[in-house]
Amino acid sequence: MTTDNILAVDDVEFADAPTVVSVKNVSKRFVIRRDNSLKERIVTLGRAGRRHSEDFWALKDVTLDIPAGTTIGLLGPNGSGKSTLLKVIGGILEPTTGEVSRRGRLAALIELGAGFHPDLTGRENVFLNAAILGITQEEAEAKFDDILLFSGIGDFIDTQVKFYSSGMYVRLAFAVAIHTDPDVLLVDEVLAVGDEQFQKKCLDKIREFQQEGRTIVLVSHSLGQVQELCDSAVVLHHGEVMFQGSARHAVKNFREILEGRRVAEAEAANPEADATPGTVDKVEIAAPGRAPGEELRPGDDLVIRMTLSHTTPLEEWHSGFKIENQHGHLVYGTDSRKIGLVHQPLHGTTVVEYRLDDIQFGGGPYFIHCFLASKTGQHIAILREAARFVMVDDDRHAGMTRVATAGRELAV
């Protein structure tokens, strides 16, 4: 069975769809001043002023076309330029160089309460936001009851929004945005604020928009959410596009960036130490009775064999794995601590084998991530998508697991 880091899902292409947002060679510069007080600015005014400010390029020569009807994710570490790019797309910020063209009505959920006046009531802000988004008062009045119902804030609609909680802000802002009939919806992490029930309602609405063929640009730190919702994704780092392609490949690329940052920080903190003393060298998987690459069936066994190395003696350590589906959802995982497997001290290379009996996963592809960890459980090394297998589809079941099910009709 195939063992190396397999990328089997091709990037989704929408070659025939018209472009609704086009970003061409966009860069955005901010000037950061070092003199904070008025006195300092007066003293440095003139010839010395340039020494007390510096340019920060939040975006660097970004080019991106977004086809109609697609959902695209923006990923990247904090400070990578995701929110700046979303604001440029939304017309909130003007690029320093380059140009952005848009087609259709655009609604943005970019900052908590953006566009709300704190001294106005929720009701007044609904009509203010609608007017900003190009909705007439008559249209806003016709949609007001639906907006209020979706937001779920009830009688607080006639309270000044400066007294709203962060969750109430988001609920009302999202309700207004989705009821303005946008062609393009921009969403920047605001869905992480509401309660679980409201988040589900928002995600259901986003899926409804997708079915209607609307275009969505989504910034989220929930990698599973990006893989589940997005057709494609863009990874930004230091203001530059590092990757553009399928959502799953983008998530893998983003995780590699985070791991690179972790290693760099470890090296900076302790230059004399080896920042990566351990590695997951190789992962092999097999299903007894199945040929390599053959689809697995419910009831099969799965063997995961990982080769681990460490350059210095490691008295106590752990190993483990996680299995995710194609949407990035964790299906199953365990480690040596959880199952009571005690490893011998590691210095050099060793092989660890896990056996999963009678697997009952749902149909589709699955990806295995394997790791070497310290005695406290902190990852020393991880090999993502170290191996892949596919479960056969079954029309009788839906979801990530299969359960033997029988049904009968009861007489009334």
Which CATH number covers residue 367? 2.70.50.60
The pLDDT, as a whole number, for residue 357 is 96
Is 233:245 a contact under the CB 8 Å cutoff?
Answer: yes
Helices 166-178 and 122-132 sit at what angle, rounded to 10 degrees? 40
Strand pairing report for 330-335 and 240-246: unpaired
Would you say residue 346 lies in a domain?
A: yes
The per-residue pLDDT for 198 is 80
pLDDT of residue 24 exceeding 60: yes
- Both tokens of 118, joined, read 């704190």
Residue 385 and residue 368 in contact, taking contact as beta carbons nearer than 8 Å: yes
Contact assessment for residue 161 and residue 118, using Cβ atoms and an 8 Å cutoff: yes
The pLDDT assigned to 296 comes to 95
Structure confidence by residue, pLDDT tens digits, 260-285: 877 777 667 766 666 678 999 999 99
Q: Kindly state the average pLDDT of the residues 4-25.
A: 64
The answer, yes or no, to whether residue 174 has pLDDT greater than 80, is yes
3-state secondary structure 9-32: CCCCCCCCCCEEEEEEEEEEEEEE
Tell me: the pLDDT tens digits for 100-111? 999 988 888 776
For 149, the token pair is 């119902």
- Stretch 29-37: mean pLDDT: 73
Q: Would residue 333 count as lying in a domain?
A: yes
Question: Is residue 74 one of the residues assigned to a domain?
Answer: no
Check if the beta carbon of residue 90 is closer than 8 Å to that of residue 108.
yes
- Higher pLDDT pick, 238 / 194: 238
- The answer to whether residue 200 scores a pLDDT higher than 70 is yes
Residue 156 lies in a domain: no
- The model's pTM: 0.76
Give residue 191's pLDDT band: very low, low, confident or very high (50, 70, 90). Answer: low
298 touches 262 (CB < 8 A):
no
The answer to whether residue 336 is domain-embedded is yes
On whether residue 178 sits in a domain, the answer given is no
Residue 373: count of CB within 10 angstroms of its CB? 19
Q: Which domain holds residue 351?
A: 277-391
Q: Is residue 144 part of a domain?
A: no
pLDDT digits (tens, 9 = 90+) for 357-372: 999 999 999 999 999 9
Higher pLDDT, 13 or 224: 224
Average pLDDT, the chain: 86
Length of the chain, in residues:
412
What is the reported pLDDT for 232? 93
pLDDT at position 11: 45
> Between 180 and 145, where is the model more confident?
145
Phi–psi pair at 269, nearest 5 degrees: -70, -35
Name the β-bridge partners of 66: 21
pLDDT for 188 equals: 84
Domains contained in the chain, number: 1
- The C-alpha atoms of residue 126 and residue 236 are separated, in whole angstroms, by 34
**Mean pLDDT on 309-314:** 92
Span 373-405, pLDDT tens digits = 999 988 899 999 999 999 998 878 888 888 888
For 36-93, how does the pLDDT look when each residue is reduced to its tens digit (9 = 90+)?
A: 666 666 666 655 545 567 788 999 999 999 999 999 999 998 889 998 999 999 888 9
Tell me whether strands 278-286 and 317-325 are parallel, antiparallel or unpaired: unpaired
Quote the pLDDT of residue 331: 94
pLDDT tens, 128-170?
Answer: 888 877 788 898 899 999 999 988 889 999 999 989 887 888 8
Looking at residue 172, what DSSP letter applies?
H
Quote the percentage of the chain above a pLDDT of 70: 87
Question: pLDDT tens digits, residue range 214-268?
Answer: 999 999 888 888 888 999 999 999 999 999 999 989 998 998 888 887 777 766 7
Within-domain flag for 329: yes
Indicate if the pLDDT at residue 116 is higher than 60: yes
